[in-house]
């Protein structure tokens, strides 16, 4: 799924990969971290948060650096 310059690939039990298109950076989460990410993104999306804002607010954006 492409969301505002980011690609979110949810691999179910294996984890989640988030890639940033312009710089080509990415990060991978698995286990409890991936489940927490899914839950928090669902909540943020319900309230109209952009994916970029979600990443910044939850400090996931720092994983790209």
Using only C-alpha atoms, the chain has a radius of gyration, in whole angstroms, of 11
Q: What is the DSSP letter of 62?
A: G
Length of the chain: 65
| CA dist list (Å): 61 to 13, 33, 42 | 23, 15, 17
pLDDT of residue 22: 80
- Indicate if the pLDDT at residue 4 is higher than 80: no
**How many structural domains compose the chain?**
1
Q: Say which residue, 42 or 60, is predicted with more confidence.
A: 42
The rounded distance, in Å, linking the Cα atoms of 55 and 14 is 20
For 30, the domain range is: 2-64
């Amino acid at each position: 799924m492409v969301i505002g310059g980011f690609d979110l690939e949810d691999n179910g039990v294996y984890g989640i990969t988030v890639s940033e298109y312009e710089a080509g950076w990415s990060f991978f989460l698995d286990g409890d971290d991936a489940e927490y990410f899914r839950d928090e993104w669902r909540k943020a999306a319900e309230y109209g948060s952009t994916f970029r804002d979600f990443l910044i607010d939850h400090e996931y954006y720092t994983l790209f650096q």
